[in-house]
């Protein structure tokens, strides 16, 4: 049975628990999916979720008035029980218990389907690694259940990517959802793919000397390896919570970051063209072993140099990276390409004949 036939069949079923008996079910499914498409045009998975969505609400606390058909809760014994009428605020989504209903069967079916798809992914499958570490329910509203009004987060992101906003410490709270959806959605992947396309076009246009001195410099975090499984965590919130170096270094030490797929494609194209690869990262020298094994596990199996920040390396990321590139140039290397997610990767001395910037609206490094 196809999904449309399934919707038509559902249309013939009268759900007595549903107060919307006057409207055909199919109309409700389409209205929901179309409303989501309007707000999130690039998130095709979310359109499908709207089409097959169910209804649920938090329990164990006061029923919020923004819950659809709130008036029917008056029939529920919990409505007048003082034990269940406190306000839950700032307790974290993991501590919230949601109601169980017929729609949850659908959740289980979809979840089992995703688990099957995920199980057939090969070892380095980006989707598999990201999906496994993301909480099933992501909040899309404030603590009181109301949609937050935002400054224009798309304009904020554009200002970040163009280096018009500098030295910012955190993703604005009201843009946490926006950044999360962007990073997990198709737009981020497409934005990275076009950077790789342009870099490949440029690399193929060059004639290399063939003396092993033509290099391509790659940054690591959010350029060749993705920390999205870490940034999607509820204690990180895509950078909307202050940066915690201890937590981040613990995650890096695990050495399980997946590749940024577009950058891995670029890397795989550069090698047979004769480029030597240099990874230049602000990670501490102490993390060398886990960084190296992570790169290999993610598919970056060889490189000319892996440069990490040592105790003696001083200055901002831009100064440190400029110094390291200058050392490379002084030892005879030619930097033909340089790619990073931070402006500090691609500004400064000896930045390379051409630079490429991949998106990163989650953090800023000077």
Residue closer to Mg ion (CB basis): 33 or 346: 346
- End-to-end alpha carbon distance in the chain: 55
DSSP code, position 64:
P
Site stretch for Mg ion (CB under 5 A), options 18-26, 214-222, 269-277, 289-297: 214-222
Residue with the closest Cβ to Mg ion? 221
CA distances to 137, 232, 352 from 44, rounded to whole Å, are 17, 19, 38
Residue closer to Mg ion (CB basis): 50 or 229: 229
Cross-strand partners of 334:
214
Residue closer to Mg ion (CB basis): 177 or 223: 223
Residue closer to Mg ion (CB basis): 172 or 359: 359
For residue 43, state whether it binds Mg ion (rule: CB under 5 A): no
Residue closer to Mg ion (CB basis): 102 or 166: 166
Question: Of 220-279, which residues contact Mg ion (CB under 5 A)?
Answer: 221-223
Those residues whose C-beta lies under 8 Å from the C-beta of residue 255, and which sit 6 or more positions away, are 290, 291, 293, 294, 297
| Residue 277 to residue 265: CA distance in whole angstroms | 14
Number of residues that bind Mg ion (CB under 5 A): 5
102 marked as part of a ligand binding site: yes
Would you call 222 helix, strand, or coil by DSSP?
coil
Alpha helices in the chain (DSSP H): 3-11, 25-39, 44-51, 103-119, 126-131, 153-161, 176-184, 186-205, 228-231, 245-254, 261-273, 288-297, 317-330, 343-346
Site stretch for Mg ion (CB under 5 A), options 26-34, 57-65, 215-223, 322-330: 215-223
Those residues whose C-beta lies under 8 Å from the C-beta of residue 343, and which sit 6 or more positions away, are 163, 318, 357
Pull the structure tokens for residue 232: 């999607």
53 marked as part of a ligand binding site: yes
- The CB-of-337 to Mg ion minimum distance in angstroms stands at 16
- The CB-of-342 to Mg ion minimum distance in angstroms stands at 5
Site stretch for Mg ion (CB under 5 A), options 110-118, 194-202, 217-225, 322-330: 217-225
For residue 176, state whether it binds Mg ion (rule: CB under 5 A): no
Binding map of Mg ion across residues 303-342, x = CB under 5 A, - = no contact: --------------------------------------x-
| Residue 170 to residue 221: CA distance in whole angstroms | 17
Residue closer to Mg ion (CB basis): 104 or 161: 161
Cross-strand partners of 355:
338
For residue 219, state whether it binds Mg ion (rule: CB under 5 A): yes
DSSP code, position 221:
B
- The CB-of-260 to Mg ion minimum distance in angstroms stands at 10
Q: Which residues are annotated binding-site positions for Fe cation? A: 28, 53, 102
Q: Which residues are annotated binding-site positions? A: 28, 53, 102
The footprint of Mg ion (CB under 5 A) covers: 219, 221-223, 341
């Amino acid at each position: 049975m196809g999904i449309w036939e399934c919707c038509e069949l559902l249309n013939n079923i009268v759900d007595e628990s549903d107060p919307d008996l006057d409207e055909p079910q199919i109309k409700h499914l389409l209205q929901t999916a179309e409303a989501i498409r309007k707000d999130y045009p690039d998130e095709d998975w979310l359109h499908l979720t709207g089409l097959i969505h169910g209804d649920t609400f938090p329990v164990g606390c006061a029923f919020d008035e923004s819950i659809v058909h709130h008036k029917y809760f008056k029939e529920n014994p919990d409505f007048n029980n003082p034990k269940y009428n406190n306000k839950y605020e700032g307790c974290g989504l993991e501590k919230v218990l949601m109601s169980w209903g017929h729609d949850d069967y659908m959740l289980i079916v979809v979840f089992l389907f995703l688990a099957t798809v995920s199980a057939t992914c090969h070892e380095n499958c980006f989707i598999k690694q990201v999906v496994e570490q993301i909480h099933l329910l992501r909040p899309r509203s404030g603590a009181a259940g109301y949609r937050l009004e935002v400054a224009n987060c798309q304009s904020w992101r554009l200002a970040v990517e163009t280096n018009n906003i500098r030295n910012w410490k955190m993703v604005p709270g009201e843009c946490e959802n926006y950044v999360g959806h962007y990073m997990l959605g198709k737009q981020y992947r497409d934005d990275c793919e076009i950077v790789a396309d342009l870099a490949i076009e440029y690399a193929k246009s060059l004639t290399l000397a063939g003396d092993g001195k033509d290099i391509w410099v790659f940054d690591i975090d959010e350029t060749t390896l993705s920390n999205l499984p870490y940034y999607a965590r509820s204690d990180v919130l895509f950078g909307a919570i202050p940066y915690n170096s201890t937590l981040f270094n613990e995650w890096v030490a695990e050495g399980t970051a997946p590749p940024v797929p577009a950058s891995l494609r670029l890397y795989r194209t550069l090698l047979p063209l004769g480029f030597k690869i240099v990874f230049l990262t602000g990670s501490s020298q102490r993390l060398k072993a886990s960084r190296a094994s992570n790169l290999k596990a993610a598919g970056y199996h060889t490189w000319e140099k892996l440069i990490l920040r040592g105790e003696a390396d001083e200055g901002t990321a831009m100064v440190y990276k400029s110094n390291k590139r200058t050392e490379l140039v002084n030892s005879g290397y030619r930097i033909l390409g340089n790619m990073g997610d931070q402006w500090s990767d691609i500004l400064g001395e000896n930045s390379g004949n051409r630079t490429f910037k991949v998106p990163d609206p989650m953090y800023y490094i000077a």
